[in-house]
Amino acid sequence: MLRTKRKAPSLVDLCVNLAVENVKYLGDVGETDLHLLDRILPHCTLDQLMHIEKSTVGRDLSSVTDKLWKTFYEKQFGERSTNLVIERMRQKKVSFRWLQLYEAKLKEIAEAENKLAARIRQLYKKEDDRKQSRQVRICSKVPPSSSKRSFCGGSGPGYNLSNGKSNLMKKAKMDFLKSREVQNIAAMKKNALPGSSRSSSMMKPPSSFPGKSSASSKPMKSLERRF
């Protein structure tokens, strides 16, 4: 069997492969040929490609990187947004680099997020102000006077316990006097008063009855005759 001979890689291919393997270390590409950059830069991530764009001074890489930035734009913001940008450039007959469009889109999103965050902070501030004003209104209410009784029978923080006890005793006494048992006892006593007067008259001594005289009444009559 005949062995096929493999072609040895050229020095350029070796350099390109080495650059691809170490693409994260690339910065200013200087005067590197565009056809070589066209083989190297597609292996960059978004951050790596941005770093190369910003690091390369005095050279426009858009002929190589523009299609790469369009791909990143479409991946991050969607195909619909990409087609909308293309349609607007066609209608206005203008053309922008996709790096510029990408940065403009990031700025637009950041401004929208800042406005949303400011709106949320404003809503939270209004809610906090409303709660604080409500607390101030509650604390600024005039406390009840000492003459008014509180829900528990007191008159505020300085309520005297002895007054509370006396009020409770008075209320208990009034309830007791108004009870049915006390009223029944009072009625029984009232009904018993005439009988008690009759019994007391029956208990008088015989001298008090008319037509009767006692030995003690004779000296009184003799005295009356003298006068």
Would you state the pLDDT for residue 8?
A: 82
The pLDDT tens digits for 52-97 are 999 998 889 999 999 999 999 999 999 999 999 999 999 999 999 9
Between these two residues, 30 and 206, which has the higher pLDDT value? 30
Q: How far apart are CA 27 and CA 202, in angstroms?
A: 139
Between these two residues, 201 and 47, which has the higher pLDDT value? 47
Between these two residues, 72 and 133, which has the higher pLDDT value? 72
Lowest mean pLDDT among 21-30, 101-110, 126-135: 126-135
Would you state the pLDDT for residue 201?
A: 45
Please tell me whether the overall predicted TM-score, pTM, comes out greater than 0.75 for this model.
no
Lowest mean pLDDT among 4-13, 29-38, 90-99, 118-127: 4-13
Tokens (6 digits) for 101:
């469009």
Would you state the pLDDT for residue 138?
A: 64
Between these two residues, 197 and 141, which has the higher pLDDT value? 141
